[in-house]
Amino acid sequence: MEAGLPADTPAPRLYRTTPAPKLGIVHLGLGAFFRAHGAIFTEEAIAASGGDWGILGVSLQSAGTRDALEPQGGAYIALELAPEGAKARPVQVIAGVLVAPENPEAVLAAMADPGVKIVSLTVTEKGYCHEPATGALNLEHPDIAHDLAAALPRSAPGFIVRALARRRAAGLAPFTVMSLDNLPHNGQVLRGVVLALARAIDPDLADWIAAEGRFPATMVDRIVPATKPEDIAEVEALIGCHDAAPVMHEPFRQWVIEDSFVNGERPGWGMVGAQLVADVTPYEHMKLRMLNGTHSSLAYLGYLAGHETIAATMADAVFARFVAKLWKDEIIPALTPPPGEDLGAYAEALARRYANPAIRHRTWQIAMDGSQKLPQRLLGTLAESFAAGRHAPGLQLAVAAWMRYVGGVDETGAPIEVKDPLAARLKALSDSAESPEGKVAALLGLREVFSEEMAAALLAPVSAAYARLVAVGARKAVEEIL
């Protein structure tokens, strides 16, 4: 601090120190995860191999991210949180941010620009406007119904279809459409919803997209907790500038990308650690089931047991043993390892990452949108376990914990703020019965989540698990499985 300045003099605002890069990517859903993962990979790829790959971020709902980043010229700090301490780095690859509801025309114009080669997405499972159990586009979704009738869309699939229509009319090649969300076969799912919407609008457009477009699958991995006010204060103390939009992340990162791009055009991600492969499927199964599946299991059971974060849950020896048992006995037996991967070593690395005390990843945050996540994270493993005649009591207990969680009341009788697109229906289904078996049966009737076959297989074991959660609580129920 300079001599003579009062102690409460505000810190200067962070601002970019280099010119904004020329656009090559439009990213839909400019949340913390992408800014802590894909944006950093892209900035490093530009430094390593050049190219016009600046990113235009698009917020599909609120203006908060735009309002925080715009006064900073798009620059922000990524703070790596390691057990030995925090390390800050500036990120300046974001060239601008648009808010789609404010100006959908500007978003479409940007996506239709010839210089844009890739449109990527992190819109979470619910942003695909699909049925999670089947992957099919929900044509009755309010945003899809709007996008069928209006030229200026609301949904991510709607923006993609309308922008591709503009490019086709202008005689341009399509952009590559790349999902970075935690969905199995995310490229295939995205292609399916885009083609379904395009076919409902213009069958010839759908044929052109199917023939000329590319929808590479990806697997992304980095733990990125939500940024809190105290994080903003910590960054300011570290760098001496005020950053209204920093992101926190763990040291680990992984990005596996199917190498399928329109005209082969993409940044040099492979030069900075991304894995460009022919088939992402074994990698995404490994990550979705081993990381996301246990993350969700720990989130619901840990929250019910009173643990605020994953690190706190892992500091409880009962839960640390439980997650090790899930990997060894229930998840790894249902996986085919990707080439060169040791699943046992991967599990050990995950346990270390979960236990990192510097990462305050809240169980409540991970528990969001469970109705969209369960099919990919837990039910696929359960289906394969049933088919192979293997027992999976830990995953069944996790499903029961989700059901108790969405009932909206914790073990102490306190209300739970359930964040889920089906929250009201889930609560009504839970409240429709008094007994554990009745509640479980009602929730298993949710066909958006559970197939008829899965519901039948889960009724008895999940009812028994739910009864134990009620009788003895989450921690004791976990201990009984061990």
| Residue 5 confidence class, pLDDT cut points 50, 70, 90 | very low
Q: How do residues 116-138 score in pLDDT, each as one tens digit?
A: 999 999 999 899 999 887 889 99
Output the pLDDT for position 1.
30
For the segment 297-322, the average pLDDT, to the nearest whole number, is 98
Output the pLDDT for position 8.
63
Share of the chain above pLDDT 70, in %: 98
Neighbour-count burial for 191-221, b at 16+ CB within 10 Å, e otherwise? bbbbbbbbbebeeebbebbeeebbbbbbbbb
Share of the chain above pLDDT 90, in %: 93
Distance CA 409, CA 421 (A): 18
**CB distance 29 to 122 below 8 Å:** yes
For the segment 94-105, the average pLDDT, to the nearest whole number, is 98
Q: Where in the chain is the domain with CATH 3.40.50.720?
A: 23-277
**CB distance 206 to 30 below 8 Å:** no
pTM: 0.85
Q: What top-level class would CATH report for the domain 281-481?
A: mainly alpha
Output the pLDDT for position 132.
80
Q: Where in the chain is the domain with CATH 1.10.1040.10?
A: 281-481
| pLDDT exceeds cutoff 50 at 472 | yes
Distance CA 122, CA 197 (A): 19
Q: How do residues 441-453 score in pLDDT, each as one tens digit?
A: 999 999 999 999 9
CB within 8 Å of 32: residues ≥ 6 apart: 224, 226, 227, 247, 248
Structure tokens at 361: 């990843």
User: SS3 letters for the chain?
Assistant: CCCCCCCCCCCCECCCCCCCCCEEEEEECCCHHHHHCHHHHHHHHHHHHCCCCEEEEEECCCCHHHHHHHHHCCCEEEEEEECCEEEEEEECCEEEEEECCCCHHHHHHHHCCCCCCEEEECCCHHHHCECCCCCCECCCCHHHHHHHHCCCCCCHHHHHHHHHHHHHHCCCCCCEEEECCCCCCHHHHHHHHHHHHHHHHCHHHHHHHHHHCCCCCEEEECCCCCCCHHHHHHHHHHHCCECCCCEEECCCCEEEEECCCHHHCCCCHHHHCCEEECCCHHHHHHHHHHHHHHHHHHHHHHHHCCCCEHHHHHHCHHHHHHHHHHHHHHHHHHCCCCCCCCHHHHHHHHHHHHCCCCCCCEHHHHCCCHHHHHHHHHHHHHHHHHHHCCCCHHHHHHHHHHHHHHCCECCCCCECCCCCCCHHHHHHHHHCCCCHHHHHHHHHCCCCCCCHHHHHHHHHHHHHHHHHHHHHCHHHHHHHHC
| pLDDT exceeds cutoff 90 at 457 | yes
Q: 185: closest CA among 221, 224, 215? A: 215
Q: How do residues 222-239 score in pLDDT, each as one tens digit?
A: 999 999 999 999 999 999
Q: How do residues 388-408 score in pLDDT, each as one tens digit?
A: 999 999 999 999 999 999 999
For the segment 158-165, the average pLDDT, to the nearest whole number, is 98
Chain-centroid distance of CA 475 in Å reads: 27
Output the pLDDT for position 183.
86
The structure tokens 């190498």 sit at 259
Sign of CA dihedral 41, 46, 52, 56: positive
The structure tokens 């076969």 sit at 185
Q: Could you tell me the end-to-end alpha-carbon distance of the chain, in angstroms, rounded to an integer? A: 56
User: Over the chain, what is the mean pLDDT?
Assistant: 95
Distance CA 42, CA 46 (A): 6
Distance CA 34, CA 229 (A): 20
Strand partners, 96: 56
For the segment 5-32, the average pLDDT, to the nearest whole number, is 88
| pLDDT exceeds cutoff 50 at 427 | yes
For the segment 416-442, the average pLDDT, to the nearest whole number, is 97
| pLDDT exceeds cutoff 80 at 307 | yes
Q: Which CATH code for domain 23-277?
A: 3.40.50.720
Distance CA 35, CA 227 (A): 12
Chain-centroid distance of CA 172 in Å reads: 31
Q: How do residues 267-283 score in pLDDT, each as one tens digit?
A: 999 999 999 999 999 99
Distance CA 367, CA 297 (A): 9
Q: In what order do the strands lie in the sheet with 85-91?
A: 85-91, 76-82, 247-249
Lowest mean pLDDT among 3-17, 78-92, 179-193, 333-347: 3-17
Distance CA 112, CA 304 (A): 47
Output the pLDDT for position 47.
97
**CB distance 166 to 270 below 8 Å:** no
